[in-house]
Amino acid sequence: MLHKLFEEGAWFAPKRYGLGAGLPIAWQGWVLMLSFLLLLPGIMLLGISLAPLHPAQAMLFFALAVAATLLFVRICQRKTRGGWRWRWGGKE
């Protein structure tokens, strides 16, 4: 089952206008998006709950949140049909 995560093919549709990815078009994209949407608040809540006890560790959780976001954006960029480029709404 894990090998299906690394299959070729797009997970996200490109945005019609502007730069970036639209909604997921494959189950892998939905899994990635839902995982990120569950992981990020979890990291932040854990960081907030531990910050009063260990203030220096709050920066660690902030760094983890930034790293998770950068990884999510990079995967979205690589798995968007046609890649990321500026689009003006035309047919492709």
pLDDT in tens, 3-24: 665 667 899 988 889 888 889 9
pLDDT, position 5: 57
Selected residue with higher pLDDT from 56 and 65: 65
Query: Alpha carbon of 77 to those of 1, 24, 42, 61, 69: distances in Å?
Result: 23, 12, 24, 24, 12
Residue 31 phi/psi, 5-degree rounding, is -65, -45
Tally of residues, the chain:
92
Query: Alpha carbon of 19 to those of 3, 13, 22, 74, 92: distances in Å?
Result: 29, 12, 9, 14, 15
pLDDT in tens, 25-53: 999 999 999 999 999 999 888 888 877 77
Query: Alpha carbon of 25 to those of 47, 51, 57, 65: distances in Å?
Result: 33, 38, 38, 25
Residue 2 predicted with pLDDT over 80: no
pTM recorded for the entire structure = 0.80
pLDDT, position 4: 60
